[in-house]
Amino acid sequence: MNPLTLSQTNQGYFINVHARQFSPHTIKDYKNVLEHLQKFLKADFPMSEISTRHLEMFLAAQTHLKKKTALNYHTALSALWAWSAGEQLVQENIVRRIKPPKPEITLVIPYTVDEMKLMLANLDRVKLYTRPGQTWQDRKTMEPERARAIILLLCDTGLRAEELCSIKIGHVDKRLMRIKVFGKGAKERYVNFSTRTAQALWRYLATKQDHQKDSDYLFTVRQLHGGSGKLNRDRLLKMLITIGNRAGVKEVNVHRFRHFFAIQYLRNRGDVYTLQRLLGHSTLDMVKRCLAVVQTDVDSAYTLASPVGNLNL
């Protein structure tokens, strides 16, 4: 067995991860987990000497993490050991012996239609705060057309943050009104968008002064040294939170747009299997959670419209 240490193994593993084109977000998360493991062990052990007991103690020490994040830690460790076993650096994937934590089932809380309208009505102005003790001041935003295109696209497609940021102009099929998306694991799928969203994209692209090539990213940000660069997850979230603050909408995040899309799709009589494909899910688990919210609509509607209940029979 090859006596490579954990740090040496990590170097080879991340060469493989980049070659397989994992998303930047996934790579960042995996590096974070393995850096924490390295610190926890307090020594650069050979991979063959790291036992399930070491890993169990490491996972047990992460008491500050939510169960979903703890599950991500387990997944990152398993991915490393699975690759190492394939490279014959270890005999087996010992992480499989450790039972993964079961994440909490969180309640799906999408935006309301009114909240969405409020955000769309507050794209061209934001509040600017300078120093403590001073009042808020209004100023015009530079790119309201970009913000409108982004929000409508999120509402119309349910895209993940990284999926939206990674769209290139050549991925957008204006004739068929659909976008080629590369989701988790670089899985390719197509998502459709409506005429109104197509118009918002057209207006946004019309405001861009730089030359547009198919290989350019669809959504960009202006850079300090001039020109433009790719919009990233952090800048996207910051932009949406700013709009939410101006509109009085609390707890703004990208995933709530995904839930909004899914629930509105089901309320408008979309079928669960098409929704699963559009969202890029391998199972129906998340769709079932959204379906439970829609079922509440059905229950309320039936209570109001029950023939026997209304006739007082």
Which domains does the chain show, CATH number per domain? 6-97 (1.10.150.130), 113-268 (1.10.443.10)
Closest CA to 247 of 112, 154, 149, 126: 126
Query: Alpha-carbon torsion 121, 278, 22, 39, what sign?
Result: positive
* pLDDT tens profile 8-40: 999 999 999 988 878 788 899 999 999 999 999
Predicted pLDDT of residue 293: 58
Look at residue 305 and tell me whether its pLDDT is greater than 60. no
Predicted pLDDT of residue 9: 95
Query: What does the block give as tokens for 108?
Result: 């799906």
pTM score of the predicted model:
0.68
197 confidence band (pLDDT: 50, 70, 90) = very high
143 confidence band (pLDDT: 50, 70, 90) = confident
Predicted pLDDT of residue 284: 64
Percent of all residues in the chain with a pLDDT value above 70, rounded to a whole number: 79
Predicted pLDDT of residue 56: 95
The arrangement of strands across the sheet holding 172-173 comes to 172-173, 178-182, 188-192
Rank 102-111, 170-179, 282-291 by mean pLDDT and report only the highest. Answer: 170-179
Burial letters 38-63, b for 16+ CB under 10 A, else e: beebeeeebbeebeeeebeebbeebe
The larger pLDDT score, comparing residue 140 to residue 263, is at 263
* pLDDT tens profile 198-244: 999 999 998 876 667 888 999 988 776 666 788 999 999 999 999 99
Look at residue 189 and tell me whether its pLDDT is greater than 50. yes
Look at residue 193 and tell me whether its pLDDT is greater than 70. yes
